[in-house]
Chain A
Amino acid sequence: MNPAVHLDGITKRFPGVVANDDVDLAVERGSVHALLGENGAGKTTLMNVLYGLYEPTEGTVRLDGEPQSFDSPRDAIDAGIGMIHQHFMLVDPMTVWENVVLGNEPTTWGGLRVDKEAAREAVVELSERYGFDVDPDAAIADVSVGEQQRVEILKALYRGADVLIMDEPTAVLTPQEVEELYGVFEELTEQGKTIIFISHKLGEALSAADDITVLRDGVNVGTVAAEDVTREDLAEMMVGREVLMEPATTPQEAGDRVLSVSGLDVDDDRGVRAVSDLSFELRAGEVFGIAGVDGNGQSQLVEAITGLRELADGEIHYLGESLSGTTRRDRIDRGMAFIPEDRQERGLVMSYDLTENAILGSQHDQPFARGGRLDWSASRDHAESVIEQYDVRPPDAAAEAEALSGGNQQKFIVGREFERDPDLVVAMHPTRGVDIGSTEFLHDRLLELRAEGKAVLLVSSKLDEVQGLSDRLAVIHEGEFSGVVDPATVTEEEIGLLMAGETPDDDSVEAASLHEEATDQIAGDPTADGDEVDA
């Protein structure tokens, strides 16, 4: 039997770049196939060829053995291919069923009137057939992210998709929702649908897929059955060398209190409370991790600490002194390094070269500035040293930031901030978009800083990252800590429940106790406070 999808020797060239080089990919009907690779490996390009967005430079797309030639996604949809993007394309105020039929409404009166009953009926029937738990009359704005994703799948099915392409489907989901998604996969494949999903997460590919194809630098490194490989095998295929998966944390005594946050309230740009009554503290030589689904107040919390956002209420103490009334500049001067979540907006000036970017934040400080004068040769030396230590490519201090790939931009920012000799590092998604090999290095470097007695506040949506690096791990949900756990003993499932705002019954979770404890220490522990204020 012919495979449902067969990409035969696909090569896609862009001026100066070969995104896919003679890639073969065969996907059996009714199977789940993971397309695994690091950023820039060519996964998305390959799927865009299948979806008709790009025309391949060489090679053929075959569906059930029939060669196809797609001029546009419309041709691909007609041929039974559906694509679900990472960011959903749904209309928030409209209902589930309206979104599903949007653009393909059944009509009466010769196309003048939408047949609402028939449309709704079709959607209900479809969701029942696949066992989807969605309310057809709920507005999109009111349903969870996981449900929105199912609506996207329904949309594709409604248009007659037999092959579903999903781009990083778990990126926006909580672990529980991920499990549900795997269930959806099973339902779909049982009914003969074929699923291809793009991912750069090893665990996800292993648990959800039947077969895994690994792309590296636009080349198919190999297709393997999920049951025959280990994480280490896959990581080696992706990176091209052996990778140490677990960062080696050694136990270490925490030192003096570096940061303490008490009763913190922060509003977002719209004036809506994003962080409410949050308290915690962070000591020297300690990594405090904050896990959570993006958009639960992490950004506002970090901005408040680093001086980019006003507090609505509460207090932040840094190195024994209150930060109220201090500017961002003061905090930089007092040794607070910050890896922002948005590297292209904040972390780098895109039109500046790396020499100029190397002094962002230090533009008034020795040795880069003396008496208001900039010393460009000192900043070039600094840029070159960061480039060399952190393996930034291309290794050229005169390259403009926008010419670098996302992962290399990130490495440069992390390098710049780590080499500031900080007392506190606030790291938000420090390895986002960075390949496995470099991630390993950045993690090692972060643990070195910890060993040197720096305090690290680590915010990440990568569970294995926060869990593997943190000494203590808080889970944030809707602006509050739903729990602070010991990362060594907590399970992924427990974290998942906390991320969804539920409290698991387990001894390792001290959800309620933390809050009072932290407040007590700040307000009523004279011995701990005393010596730090003096210092």
Chain B
Amino acid sequence: MSDAGPDAGGTPSVVSRLIAPFVDRSVAERLVISVAAILLSIAVGFVIVLISGRIAQCSTAAWTMPLTGIGFCYDPIQVYVVLFNGAFGNPIAVGEPGLFNPNWTPFNLSLGLTLSETTLLIFTGLSVAVAFRAGLFNIGTQGQLVVGALATALTVIAAAPLLPEGPVGGAVLIVLGTAAGAVGGGFWGAIPGALKAYADANEVITTIMLNFVAANVAYVLVLEVFRAEGSSVVATQYVPEYAQFLPWFFPQSADFAVVALLVGIAFIGALYYLIEHTSFGYDVRTSGVQAAAAEYGGVNAKLTTVRAMTLSGALGGIGGSVWVLMSEGRWMASIPSLGFDGITVSILAGNNPIGVLPAAFLFGILKGGALEIGFRTDVPTELVGVLRGLIILFVAMPEFFRMIGKYAGIGAGGPGGGVRTDPDETDGAVGTDGGEADA
């Protein structure tokens, strides 16, 4: 079987070598699987919408099944059309002549909301992905984001009076605030990293615990010390308008800045380069896939753990900075669960920085589309939540689809799987089983 490898790449090797880095088989495969997963989840969701639509009470049926004439309260087709169409601000004109909506512009509120969510999830997704690549399960991105966000808000508020107002001062404040977020989040990530490296404490537990510590310490700090005067909620005062990311083309209420998205994409590229093309990245990856080999190769396991967790925390912290400087304008107690969604984003992305972009975008679409469904249909938000969950669930289990593909005869290996080169150990096990079972 190993002989097949070199021969297969005979003539098209030049072409394939050029294209390989961009669309290697696994990437193409993952793409096909993701699309198949979304379609299947839609089929299942379709049925669920129909059943709920049958159970629900309503005066007029939103959709009547052809032939049977049975009426349903919710129109499943409409739900999905609004979910995906709405996330982009309805570029496709539904129910009207002409496929495209002539009044559609890309710089609309809905697309802004979608991209805003995408931008934030890029950072938290990268945060989780970096830790994953080092073999560490960082559940603490949420806490690192909370700490980073607070550090950003306080730094910008404290530094603002010292700098001139206007775009230059704003730019300095944004850089300063983001750096503070990175330091804060990085510090919060370094703690479980050090605990893991030097005290053998499982990072899953410590990061979960530190999430609570971060949320509650930050809450009390803001409540007692940094609360804005006259504020009815637990929040700091707003950072100056000029120190926030400017929305540029998009409406103010979308809380989205193109600059932030571009920074996020730049981070994706930088992180990809770091992991694939630097010595540090090699150390991190090797520790992640085969710790004993990394140790053999001279990688300092403890230091690498601390560094990877610090980097992961810093990325989560920057996510917090962007949340303060782009979305909220201040630190407030009700921080959305961007850090936890980052875990799913990272897993969807196969922990590959490049994959974080489409994964975060999918989450963004589902967020933007769900809001749109709420505006335009009678479908309850809980049901929309179910549909979102279904899509993520299906996309997150590529192995399931690979299995289906195998049994359907697609792909090389049969259901039996590959052949092992070294059958000794299993043979022994089977041998004893057979021998002892006949008693």
A residues at B contact (CB < 8 Å)? 14-17, 40, 44-45, 48, 51-53, 72-74, 77-78, 83, 85-87, 89, 102-105, 159, 167, 308, 327-329, 331-333, 338, 340, 342, 345-352, 356, 359-361, 363-364, 369, 372-374, 376, 393-396, 399, 403-406
Contacts and interface: CB of A to CB of B under 8 A. Distances in A.
Nearest to A359: B282
Interface string B221-247: 000000000000000000000000000
Contacts of B425: 87
Contacts of B98: none
24 contacts: A15-B414, A16-B3, A16-B4, A17-B1, A72-B434, A73-B431, A74-B437, A77-B435, A86-B424, A104-B439, A105-B439, A167-B424, A308-B295, A332-B297, A333-B298, A351-B289, A352-B289, A359-B282, A361-B298, A363-B283, A372-B280, A373-B279, A399-B5, A405-B2
Contact of A394 (B6, B294, B423): B6
B277 A373 contact: yes
A347 B6 contact: no
Interface centre among B2, B414, B430, by most chain A C-beta atoms within 10 angstroms, is B2
Contacts of B283: 363
| Nearest 3 A/B pairs, CB to CB | A73-B434, A103-B436, A16-B1
B162 to A, nearest CB: 35
B279 A73 contact: no
B202 interface: no
For chain B, give the interface size range.
Answer: 35 or more
Given A349-B286, A360-B297, A394-B5, 18 more contacts: A14-B419, A72-B434, A73-B431, A73-B435, A77-B435, A85-B427, A87-B428, A89-B428, A102-B436, A103-B438, A327-B298, A329-B300, A347-B293, A351-B290, A352-B286, A352-B289, A363-B286, A396-B5
B198 to A, nearest CB: 15
B424 A44 contact: yes
A210 to B, nearest CB: 25
Nearest to A332: B298
B382 interface: no
Given A102-B436, A338-B296, A340-B296, A363 B279 contact: yes
B297 A361 contact: yes
B292 interface: yes
Contacts of B414: 15
Contact of A374 (B282, B289, B298, B435): B282
Given A16-B4, A395-B6, A85 B419 contact: no
B57 interface: no
B60 interface: no
Contacts of B279: 363-364, 369, 372-374
Contacts of B432: 89
A48 B423 contact: yes
A489 B293 CA distance: 39
B143 to A, nearest CB: 30
A85 B433 CA distance: 13
Contacts of A16: 1, 3-4, 419
A53 B286 contact: no
B11 interface: no
Interface string B286-315: 100110111111111000000000000000
Given A360-B297, A374-B279, A406 B421 contact: yes
Given A15-B414, A45-B423, A86-B424, A328 B435 contact: no
A403 B6 CA distance: 12
A276 B75 CA distance: 79
Contacts of A332: 297-298
B278 interface: yes
Contact of A85 (B277, B418, B428): B428
B422 interface: yes
Nearest to A408: B2
Interface in B243-302: 277-283, 286, 289-290, 292-300
Contacts of A406: 421-422
Contact of A73 (B5, B289, B292, B430): B430
Given A15-B419, A360-B293, A52 B434 contact: yes
B230 to A, nearest CB: 51
Chain B contact surface mostly: helix
Contacts of A14: 1, 419
A414 to B, nearest CB: 14
B435 A405 contact: no
A110 to B, nearest CB: 15
B298 A346 contact: no
Contact of B427 (A44, A74, A327, A405): A44
Contacts of A86: 424, 428
A346 B290 CA distance: 8
Contact of A349 (B2, B290, B430): B290
B5 to A, nearest CB: 6
B45 to A, nearest CB: 36
Contacts of A17: 1, 419
B286 A360 contact: yes
Nearest to A159: B435
Given A51-B431, A359-B282, A308 B296 contact: yes
A345 B6 contact: no
A103 B438 CA distance: 7
A360 B434 contact: no
Nearest to A82: B435
A534 B250 CA distance: 71
A334 to B, nearest CB: 11
A345 B111 CA distance: 49
Contacts of B424: 44, 85-86, 167
A516 to B, nearest CB: 35
**A45, A369, A404 — which one has the most chain B CB atoms within 10 A of its CB?**
A369
A91 to B, nearest CB: 11
Contacts of B282: 356, 359, 363, 374
Contacts of A395: 6
Contact of A74 (B6, B280, B435): B435
Contacts of A40: 421
Nearest to A374: B277
A327 B298 CA distance: 8
B77 to A, nearest CB: 44
A208 B425 CA distance: 25
A456 B295 CA distance: 22
A51 B434 CA distance: 10
A77 B436 CA distance: 10
B290 A350 contact: yes
Contacts of A308: 295-296
Contact of B293 (A89, A348, A372, A399): A348
